[in-house]
Amino acid sequence: MAIAAVIFILAGLFFFFVGVVGVLRFPDFYARLHAAGKADSIAAVLVLIGVALYNLQEFNVGNLLVSIKIMLIAVFIYVASPTATHALTKAALVAGVEPWSKRKKKP
Partner 1 sequence: MKTRVATFFIMLAFWVIMSGMFDAFHLSLGVFCCLLVAHFSHNLLFPETTGPQRSWLSDIVGVTLYLPYLLWQILLANLQVAWIVLHPRALEMIDPHIFRFKTKLKRPISKVAFAQSITLTPGTITVNIYSDEAGEQPDEFAVYALTKEAAASLPGEMEERVAKALEPANG
Q: Is 107 in the site for partner 1 (CB under 8 A)?
A: no
Q: Is there a contact between 32 and 22 (Cβ–Cβ < 8 Å)?
A: yes
Q: Pattern 38-77, binding to partner 1, x per CB under 8 A?
A: x--xx------------------xx--x--xx--x-----
Q: How far apart are CA 12 and CA 38, in angstroms?
A: 11
Q: Is there a contact between 55 and 69 (Cβ–Cβ < 8 Å)?
A: no
Given the rule CB under 8 A, which residues bind partner 1? Answer: 15, 18-19, 21-22, 25-28, 30-31, 33-35, 37-38, 41-42, 61-62, 65, 68-69, 72, 78-79, 81-83, 85-86, 89-90, 93, 99-102
